Structure 1
Amino acid sequence: MPTIGELHEVYSNNPNGLLQTINSIYDRIEKEGLKPIWISIVPREKVLKRVEELLSISQDDRDAYPLFGIPFAVKDNIDVIDLKTTAACSSFADEKATKSAFVVCKLEEAGAIVIGKTNMDQFATGLVGIRSPFGICSSVFHKNFISGGSSSGSAVSVGNGLVTFALGTDTAGSGRVPAMFNNVIGMKPTRGLLSCSGVVPACRSVDCVSIFAETCKDASIILSVAHGYDENDPYSRQLSFCSSPWIISSKFRCGVPTKSTRQFFGDTENGELFEKVIKTVETELNGEIIEFDLTSFVKVANLLYKGPWVAERYASVGKFIDEHQSDIDPTVFSIISKSKSYSAVDVFNSMYEIEKLKKETKELWKNFDVMLVPTAPRTFTIDQIQQSPIELNTQLGFYTNFVNLLDLTAIALPAGLRQDHLPFGVTFISHSFTDQALLLLADRLHRCLSTFIGCSTTHLLSNTQKLSMKENDEQWNCFLIGVVGAHLSDLPLNYQLIERNARFVRKCRTHQEYRLYALSNTNPCKPGLIRVNGSQGSGIEIEIWAIPNEYLASFVNLISSPLTIGNILLDDGQSVKGFLVESSGIETAKDITHFGGWKAYLNASEG
């Protein structure tokens, strides 16, 4: 299926483009059948009425609908009006939903079109995609291999081009593992950024709605539309911005697990592919690779299924499965029913344990900005999972289970094909509310590693738009500051930036009217920059740094007279806040403009 941008271009150039797109989807579903991808679909007639409504919107007004005419699918634990929400258990849904989930409404208000509800591991319990009475979804690359779960149908619907994007849910990795096995983007947003109102919970305290898309740009558009505070969801959160100076820096710190703490459970090729990805991050994305011990994160991951958090699944659907055991997948029943054995004491002890582990992992995070891990250690055939359903499921969550418990954000992306033509994938992970920064980074890597979208022949680089970035975007929660003197890289006061987690962005020059002076009686020696109208020169060398907003006040407080902060015009016409000098400060100062910068002056003085 074409991306959002491609479809909008089709709709602009072809008056019948939207109608043809929707009819082609339904024609294909009628030919291929509902199972195993779909559990239910919106009737064609109803969707065609929706198309008529959208086509009545004038061309000039369509910009107000960023998802105009974009078809999408919804995992069947998320409500869609007039369809039953089964969570892959028919007897669970007595009535059709009387309204759509909050997030579905947001998407439809933006012009998107719901096609139907997708298959899943029953009650979102599993990472395999085989625990459903509606059939087993397989990888779009091979019918004998698992699609991953629990959001199996959603990932497959995007991977095989039935829809442009799909909603899933993610508790332990259900929005990421299926993304790897079907060669698509899996966006696990910050918890609470997308409302869970109208979603059947698995573990309510750590659940989130996830996004499957063909590109990071599409995922970014969908996320910007779908997020929103929902007062009816007790876990909904207002959009905030985590300081992310690393995304606009010339270099970022990328944490990768040490080889001794990586796990591929017997698969050798995925380990080799992961090494190649690490090299690509280092050479193509200018990432500084920092190895760390994954052990503390694995301990957190173990708590999700080997600790009392699994009892939260019983709180959600336990009574129902006890009363309807014959309708429940045996593995799902075993996992949820056994959770009754945990006591309140167990819960508190595990809460104490996870707080301890949070402190351990927080110390590790001081060393890197983002984490890069394989999305899953390996893949399995459907037969292998059926023979060992719990053990192999646990292996699949090795790199995913800790993310929501630690309130992290993650983007799973395709990372090339194996020799057996099955897809490999990796995941970028960082702090909550770094969603857009992670998407930017993931888009860059996706374009380095992948050729085609999903299992199609659509070329990623030539057919899709890359995700662009603005240095001064407020969502990076950073302040750009220009330095020309002692705060330059490797000079005496640069540490004041470094200790505040500031990052070097770029080197450039000021407008030609600026003059530079060596100030008197300063320790360490400092220059003063001042603009003189009509002055002619080649500009002064300046470095742009990004400093997190929370550290700005303490940094500015260090500045003493005659230096000040003001607007500096650059030679490219842009302006930046930076160090200037009061006019009184240059009365006894030496004009050193002809050196072109402070470092050149210092080098000449030493010589």
Structure 2
Amino acid sequence: MISPLKMPYELSIQWLRTHYLKNKITPQEVIDVIIQRSKQDEHMNIWITPPDLAFIQPYLDNLTDINIEQAPLWGIPFAIKDNIDLAGISTTAGCPDYTFIPSQHATVVKHLIEAGAIPVGKTNLDQFATGLVGTRSPYGETHNALKGEMISGGSSAGSPVAVARGQAAFSLGTDTAGSGRVPAALNRLVGFKPSLGAWSTKGVVPACASLDCVTVFSHNIEDAKIVDHVVRKYDDQNAWSKELPIPSPKLPKKICLPKSPLHFFGPYGNQYKAAWYKSVEQIKSWGIPIEWIDNHLFSNVAKLLYEGPFIAERWADLGSFVDNHPGSTFPVTEKVLKSGANENFTASLLFDTMHKLKQYKLQVKKLLSDSVFITPTAGGTWTREQVRKEPIRTNSEMGEYTNHCNLLDLCAISVPFEDADQDIPFGVTFFALSEHEDFILGLAEKCQVNSTEMESQANIELVSSNDSDSVLLAVCGLHMQGLSLEHELHEHRATFIREAETAKKYRMFKLSTNPPKPGLIKTEKEGSSIKIELWKCPSVTFGSFVANIPSPLCIGKVELKDGSEVQGFICEPYATEYAEDISNLGSWRELIR
């Protein structure tokens, strides 16, 4: 049985399923680690109903009646945005006075549980799914998973952060204006928004019922596809449900890129702009014909969502609650919702706008008949403090490249590209017609393969370069991937580079600390080569990381197998006098295997 301490920080369906099938780990152990991680991250306001065995245990017990071979999500933990129903657990939609306890699961949740998935909690959100920033919640501002002072993105704020912080393998969000894509990009995740109606919205608190869509956040395309296969079913109890086949990924004949200058904003606007240009060069290298198109068409449609009578649909769904519960709604949320009651939004204006939209759809259908349209997922990001000072403008700019999507009945997927800056992820979105989900998934798969190859090459270059802004660190114990102190490296913005080995000049001891830790000592005789990991830590955070290392451990020079030296964990010799020599194991992992 594998120790739960070896569970990777980033969970995935494939890793969990592989280890379940080999009986190396149990769902109970996975949930125990998730609960521990959620408590460590409590200050990040990820959850409204956090992971707790009190409600999770029955789902674990039910696994005994489910055949793992026939259940593609057996034992896979997932998070649920708290505007999607989980039977017996409060649905708040981010508003305490709106709270109710549903007797049934939302249809998508029901399908996932039937496939063996384990719901671990309900996540924080911009109240009533009205926002793209993740700060509009009485349950607290959700922190970005990588850089705490930045926004998480919204409205599905807690769902992507739960996945990025290792508290779920995937999560459900909703997307009306970009809520399933913007927070994916801001937390370095995949955000898949299927075509409208492909996934049932029964059991989802409506934002704009005709445009609402349930979405998935995951670390990779394959996990998103598995979830799609499970939940894509026609629901005859849901008026918006459609019979749409499971897409088979394939490449489009053409890629459309925006011809007009794009708008970049926020404290990392210049970095976002540079990241977009790098992304375009990567896209060009795919060898698919490219057409540069006038993107004002999409910008004009985007403005219709909040600047025209379509906003009245939000008021139609929630207006009576807001009017009957004064003071219950978050102030900025109430302001947005009440804009839908504008007396100038007449029925005739609504029909006029609908007819205009119909013409836009016709143009887009011709334009994207065999193509995928690509834009940045967002043109920038903001600190949470900046959003507090200007809640309307900052939120509006976050949706500049997303708001058009559902109005035009497009499918979309946001995928991570090269980061804009240290711990500032950058995402790109692929858009296609509703009937061409195959195109966006095909491109996403191609992008993922290329990114993996580029990352591998970049890791080699990083190890051989002299980067004055970072420190290459050799890790040999509890800070290694999947072990109990890995989170400390992530909290200091360190990134894993590769596995490596020391020169054959070291001895490793099992120190009598609590918990036990390895002590690495260099010797010129009878030495061994010890397996380690190399991590890159920013210079600005390296000092604080070192300051937290308890005696008898310390940081010194570690010689690698190739003769080069890096900073790494070593031990004061006095601590090894009565310690067990485990050098023959060759790795700390072998001791706890």
TM range (shorter): 0.7 to 0.9
Matched letter for residue 312 of structure 1 = E
Which residue among 338, 347, 351 is the counterpart of 1:348? 351
Cα 1:177–1:458, aligned 2, differ >3 Å: closer, same or farther? same
Which residue among 389, 402, 423 is the counterpart of 2:425? 423
In the alignment, is residue 52 of structure 1 matched against residue 61 of structure 2?
A: yes
Aligned-pair identity (%):
37
Q: Counterparts of 1:213 and 1:89 in 2: how far apart (Å)?
A: 26
Task: State the 1:299 CA deviation.
Answer: 0.6
Cα 1:254–1:461, aligned 2, differ >3 Å: closer, same or farther? farther
Q: Counterparts of 1:460 and 1:176 in 2: how far apart (Å)?
A: 27
In the alignment, is residue 86 of structure 1 matched against residue 87 of structure 2?
A: no
3-state DSSP of counterpart to 2:431:
strand
Task: State the 1:282 CA deviation.
Answer: 2.0
3-state DSSP of counterpart to 1:167:
strand
Task: State the 1:421 CA deviation.
Answer: 2.9
Q: Counterparts of 1:89 and 1:304 in 2: how far apart (Å)?
A: 23
Residues 144 and 150, structure 2, Cα contact 8 Å, conserved in 1: yes
3-state DSSP of counterpart to 1:116:
strand
Q: Counterparts of 1:248 and 1:187 in 2: how far apart (Å)?
A: 16
What does residue 211 of structure 1 align with? 216
Cα 1:159–1:189, aligned 2, differ >3 Å: closer, same or farther? same
What does residue 20 of structure 2 align with? 11
Residues 42 and 83, structure 1, Cα contact 8 Å, conserved in 2: no
Matched letter for residue 31 of structure 2 = I
Task: State the 1:398 CA deviation.
Answer: 0.9
Which residue among 439, 442, 452 is the counterpart of 1:440? 442
Matched letter for residue 280 of structure 2 = I
Q: Counterparts of 2:337 and 2:349 in 1: how far apart (Å)?
A: 16
Bigger radius of gyration: 1
Which residue among 48, 62, 67 is the counterpart of 1:39? 48
Q: Counterparts of 1:134 and 1:279 in 2: how far apart (Å)?
A: 41
What aligned pairs does 1:53-452 form with structure 2 within 5 A after superposition?
53-55=62-64, 57=66, 61-93=67-99, 95-240=100-245, 248=250, 252-258=253-259, 260-265=260-265, 267-283=269-285, 285-341=286-342, 342-366=345-369, 369-449=371-451, 451=455
3-state DSSP of counterpart to 2:29:
helix
What does residue 24 of structure 1 align with? 33
Q: Counterparts of 2:358 and 2:55 in 1: how far apart (Å)?
A: 50
Q: Counterparts of 1:423 and 1:356 in 2: how far apart (Å)?
A: 36
Task: State the 1:436 CA deviation.
Answer: 4.2
3-state DSSP of counterpart to 1:416:
strand
What aligned pairs does 1:415-564 form with structure 2 within 5 A after superposition?
415-449=417-451, 451=455
Q: Counterparts of 2:236 and 2:306 in 1: how far apart (Å)?
A: 30
Task: State the 1:28 CA deviation.
Answer: 2.3
Cα 1:365–1:40, aligned 2, differ >3 Å: closer, same or farther? same
Q: Counterparts of 2:124 and 2:70 in 1: how far apart (Å)?
A: 32
Residues 447 and 460, structure 1, Cα contact 8 Å, conserved in 2: no
Task: State the 1:248 CA deviation.
Answer: 4.5
Output one character per residue of 1:132-163: Cα deviation in whole Å (capped at 9) or x when no partner.
00010121121111010000000111111110
Task: State the 1:327 CA deviation.
Answer: 1.6
Residues 118 and 154, structure 1, Cα contact 8 Å, conserved in 2: yes
Task: State the 1:69 CA deviation.
Answer: 0.3
Q: Counterparts of 2:51 and 2:387 in 1: how far apart (Å)?
A: 32
Q: Counterparts of 1:363 and 1:172 in 2: how far apart (Å)?
A: 23
Say which is worse superposed, 171-180 or 14-23, in terms of deviation.
Answer: 14-23
Task: State the 1:241 CA deviation.
Answer: 7.0
Residues 432 and 439, structure 2, Cα contact 8 Å, conserved in 1: no
Per the normalisation by structure 2, the TM-score is 0.72
Q: Counterparts of 1:10 and 1:306 in 2: how far apart (Å)?
A: 50
What aligned pairs does 1:586-605 form with structure 2 within 5 A after superposition?
none
Q: Counterparts of 1:425 and 1:146 in 2: how far apart (Å)?
A: 15
Cα 1:124–1:240, aligned 2, differ >3 Å: closer, same or farther? same
Residues 87 and 122, structure 1, Cα contact 8 Å, conserved in 2: yes
Matched letter for residue 176 of structure 2 = T
Say which is worse superposed, 212-221 or 419-428, in terms of deviation.
Answer: 419-428
Residues 173 and 397, structure 1, Cα contact 8 Å, conserved in 2: yes
Matched letter for residue 399 of structure 1 = Y
Output one character per residue of 1:244-286: Cα deviation in whole Å (capped at 9) or x when no partner.
9xx646x73110101x342213722222211211221221x22
Matched letter for residue 167 of structure 1 = L
3-state DSSP of counterpart to 1:325:
coil
Residues 325 and 333, structure 1, Cα contact 8 Å, conserved in 2: no
Matched letter for residue 179 of structure 2 = S
Residues 175 and 212, structure 1, Cα contact 8 Å, conserved in 2: yes
Matched letter for residue 25 of structure 1 = I
3-state DSSP of counterpart to 1:417:
strand
**Which consecutive residues of structure 2, in runs of 5 or more, have no partner in the other structure?**
1-9, 457-480, 482-486, 500-593
Q: Counterparts of 1:363 and 1:4 in 2: how far apart (Å)?
A: 38
Q: Counterparts of 2:231 and 2:378 in 1: how far apart (Å)?
A: 27
Cα 1:173–1:112, aligned 2, differ >3 Å: closer, same or farther? same
3-state DSSP of counterpart to 2:429:
strand
3-state DSSP of counterpart to 1:145:
coil
Q: Counterparts of 2:47 and 2:413 in 1: how far apart (Å)?
A: 25
Q: Counterparts of 1:439 and 1:34 in 2: how far apart (Å)?
A: 35
Task: State the 1:458 CA deviation.
Answer: 8.7
Output one character per residue of 1:5-24: Cα deviation in whole Å (capped at 9) or x when no partner.
11011112235422211111
Residues 232 and 246, structure 2, Cα contact 8 Å, conserved in 1: no
Q: Counterparts of 2:160 and 2:89 in 1: how far apart (Å)?
A: 20
Q: Counterparts of 1:223 and 1:433 in 2: how far apart (Å)?
A: 15
Residues 447 and 461, structure 1, Cα contact 8 Å, conserved in 2: no
Q: Counterparts of 1:265 and 1:424 in 2: how far apart (Å)?
A: 13
Task: State the 1:56 CA deviation.
Answer: 5.0
Task: State the 1:322 CA deviation.
Answer: 1.5
Q: Number of matched residues?
A: 451
Residues 47 and 158, structure 2, Cα contact 8 Å, conserved in 1: yes
Q: Counterparts of 2:174 and 2:498 in 1: how far apart (Å)?
A: 29
Matched letter for residue 159 of structure 1 = A
RMSD between aligned residues: 2.4
3-state DSSP of counterpart to 2:148:
strand
Q: Counterparts of 2:218 and 2:212 in 1: how far apart (Å)?
A: 19
Task: State the 1:460 CA deviation.
Answer: 11
Say which is worse superposed, 350-359 or 152-161, in terms of deviation.
Answer: 350-359
Q: Counterparts of 2:225 and 2:42 in 1: how far apart (Å)?
A: 31
